Every structure is written in C-alpha cells, then in structure tokens.
Amino acid sequence: MKFDPRKLVGPFMALLLFGLAVRLLIGEAQKVSWDDFVAGLTGVPTAYLIIATFLVALNYGLLICYDILALRYVCRALPLRRVSLVAFLGYALGNNLGTLLAAAPIRYRFYHRWGLTHRQIVALMSVLALTFWSGVCVLGGVVLVLHPIELPAKFDLPFGVRTLGAILLSIAVFYAVICLVWHKPWPIGKLHLRPPSLGLATAQASVAIVDLTISATALYLVMPGDAVVPFPTVLAAYLVGITVSLITQVPGGLGVLELILWTLLKDTVGKPVLASVLIFRVIYYILPLLVGMVVLVAHEIYSGAMEARHDAEAFDSTTT
C-alpha cells in the first residue's frame, strides 16, 4: 500500500499547536510566583475537592448517554454493560489521547466485534459529534448572550461576544429546523446520513448541556477558596476552552485548555487559577485515564481467558 504523506498533516498540525500552546503557557506561568501557585493548590477546601471528584465520576456515567443516543440513531440495541464499557473507555482514553488515536479505534473495535457494520459505526461516531456540538451551541449561545465574558484585547473578535452567542443559538435553531422538516438522507462520501428526529435532537442537546454544566461545575469548585468569581464566567471560559481544544485536535487539549482558562480567568480569579486548572486536569483527565487503562487491561485479560476456555471446550467436544 502506497504511503500518503497527507495523512501526516493532521498529526503535525496538532503537534505544532501543542508546542505553541505549551510555550505560551510556560511564558504566562513564569508571571506566577511560587507562593501564588501553592496558595492555589492549598486554597481549595477538601470538601470541594471531594464533591468535584464525585461530579466528574457522575459526568463520566452520563457520557454513556452519548453512545445510547447514537445507537438509537443507527437502530441498534446492545446490553447496557457493553455500551457502558465502550463509552467509558472511549471518553477516558479519548479525552487524553485524542479522538483519532483512542476514541475512534476503541469504538470501532468493540462495536465491530458486537455486530455493527462499518457504515453504522461511522454514522454512530458522527452522531456523537453532533450531540456534543449541539449542546455547545445551545449552552454557549445562552451563556454568551446573557453573561458575555470579557475577552483579552489580543483575542478580541471582529464582533461582540453577545453576537457570537446569537450566532451559536442560530446554528442550534437551524439544526432543530433541519431535524424537523428534512427527512431525506444526505450523501456524505459513501454514507447517506439522515438528520435525527427532532425528539432525538432535543435529547442530544439536553445530554450535552448537562455534561458541560457538570464539568464546568467541577472546575468552579476547585477555584481558590477566596476567589470571588460568578459561575457563568467560569462556565463561559470552560466552553471556550473545551471548544478550542477540540478544534485544534491536540490530545486532551493539553496546554491549550490550560492556556485559554488561564487567559480568560486570571483577571477575575487571580494568578492562583493556574493551580486550579491543573487540579481540574488531574481530576477530569488523569484519574479517568488511569482507571480506563486498568479497566481495558482487565477486560482484555478476561476476554482472552474466556476465548481460550471456549476454544478448549470446542476442542474437547470434537475429540470425544
């Protein structure tokens, strides 16, 4: 098979953006004194850390609904334990290693093993993306219209933040109208994807809104205890950060998410916000990744043992 160098463009751009984000973050972090950083780490009450960790665990449980809705779209039903396994592994590993490197291969491997066709899996992953972005448009639009965040001068937009919120809401309304009136499949490459029903689209947006709100709440709880910052400000900053992180395709948004949250919140929260962002990174990304790796290894060992036992039983039955 002939190698296509164009396949390296995406990973190269992600690596370049990651390097640039880390460089900028290091430059910004040098403005933070060690005392400010330690104050940020120790300034979060233990009870808030526990609640934030519980919310993250609850959030990863909610992420199963993404796959349930996508399976409903492709008209396939699987046992909840299987959907829970692949959803958790897909997000725990995908949030850290990226969609292309972890989430997509994990879903393809498991769902193909369980009987879904290639086209069904591609359609399923398309619906997963639609679910997330529909929630971003609705929640981001409402937050930016009602509580516009003040952007630094170097990130100033050619139009107001409220206008951006109105644009996001317009996209959400347009998506809802398409789901309501358009029932013919759209040819996308070799696929012919039909817009979801309005009921499914509403469920998609609802799940994503709750998902993003819980995540932002966990971030809000690990802010320094003496910080006075409105929750809508943290929510708006988180939505901007997570959106840009996904667009750049930097695995886990590492460096990108921290840089954006630091830039948007340092004037409101103060310099200790960098420590808070790193705490959130550990709770929301690193801990689920460690659990996910353990679950994946344990599942592979168990599956291998079951297959070996089945093969042994089949061999015994043929020799008797």
| Gap between the Cα atoms of 21 and 27, Å rounded | 10
For residue 224, being part of any structural domain is answered with yes
Share of the chain above pLDDT 70, in %: 75
pLDDT of 15 over the 60 cut: no
Residue 25 lies in a domain: no
Q: What angle do CA 190, 194, 196 make, to 5 degrees?
A: 140
For residue 136, which amino acid is it?
V
Name the residue range of residue 113's domain.
30-314
**Residue 21 falls inside a structural domain:** no
Residue 316: the pLDDT is 60
Residue ranges of E strands in 177-314: 186-188, 191-193
Q: State how far the Cα of 306 lies from the Cα of 320, in Å rounded to an integer.
A: 21
Q: 243 falls in which pLDDT band (50, 70, 90)?
A: confident
d(CA 202, CA 198): 6
Give the phi and the psi of residue 163 in degrees, each rounded to 5.
Answer: -65, -40
Residue 319 lies in a domain: no
Confidence of residue 62 (pLDDT cuts 50, 70, 90): very high
Q: What is the pLDDT of residue 317?
A: 64
- For residue 11, being part of any structural domain is answered with no
pLDDT (mean) for 260-275: 77
- pLDDT value of residue 69: 95
Contact 222, 254 (CB under 8 A): no
CA atoms of 4 and 134, how far apart (whole Å): 33
Determine the pLDDT at residue 244.
77
In this prediction, residues 310-320 reach a mean pLDDT of: 63
Q: Does some domain include residue 20? A: no
Mean pLDDT across the chain:
80
In a domain, residue 13? The reply is no
Instruction: Give the pLDDT of residue 154.
Output: 56
Q: For residues 111 and 192, which has the higher predicted lDDT (pLDDT)?
A: 111
Cα(109)–Cα(102) distance, rounded to whole angstroms? 11
Taking residues 123-140, report their average pLDDT.
Answer: 92
Provide the CB-side half-sphere exposure for 76 (13 A, CA). 19
> 17 in a domain, yes or no?
no
Q: What is the CA radius of gyration of the chain?
A: 22
How many domains, in total, are found in the chain? 1
More confident residue, 159 or 283: 283
Tell me the range of 108-122, 187-201, 247-261, 299-313 where mean pLDDT is highest.
Answer: 108-122
